[in-house]
Amino acid sequence: MAHLTRIKVRGYHLDLYGHVNNARYLEFLEEARWSLVEERIDLAEWQRRGLAFTVVKIAINYRRAASLGDVLEIHSSLSELGRKSAKIHQKVYLEGADTLVADADVTFVIVDATTEKALPLEGEISKSLRALKT
C-alpha cells in the first residue's frame, strides 16, 4: 500500500476561480514526499553523510478541480529505481472517493552536497530508497 498524506484545502490554496491553483499541487506533492521520506529513511544519517534528494523532473496531470474544504489524499510510492535516478509516483484523490484529482511522476537524484554531483543509486543508498516502495 502506498504512503498516505492528507491535506485539507484552505482558502489560500485557491485561485481567482475558487479552485486549487496549479502551483499549489506541487507543494502538496512535495509535502507528501517529505512525509514519505521522513517516515521511511533516516534523514539525520543522510544529512550527516552529505546526501540530498534533488528533484530533476515533475510530470503532472490535472484531472479534476479541488475546492475549499476538500480533503485530499495523496498516495506516494517509489515506482522506479534506476542507476542514477529514481521516480516517485503520486496520486491525489478526494478523501473517501475514487475521484482522481491529479497524478504525477517525480524523478529525482541523490546528490553529494559537497561535490553537487548525482551519485549512483547503489549499495546503502539503493537499499534506503527501496524502503520508499510499497
Catalytic residues: 15
Rounded-to-10 torsion of CA 16, 22, 28, 34: -140
Place of cell 521516480: 87
**What is the pairing mode between strands 100-112 and 86-94?**
antiparallel
**β-pairing, 86-94 with 3-8?**
unpaired
**Torsions phi, psi of 105, nearest 5?**
-115, 125
Q: Cβ of 105: how many Cβ atoms within 10 Å?
A: 15
Q: Cα dist. 35→64, 68, 119 in Å?
A: 24, 23, 23
Grid coordinates given for 50: 552529505
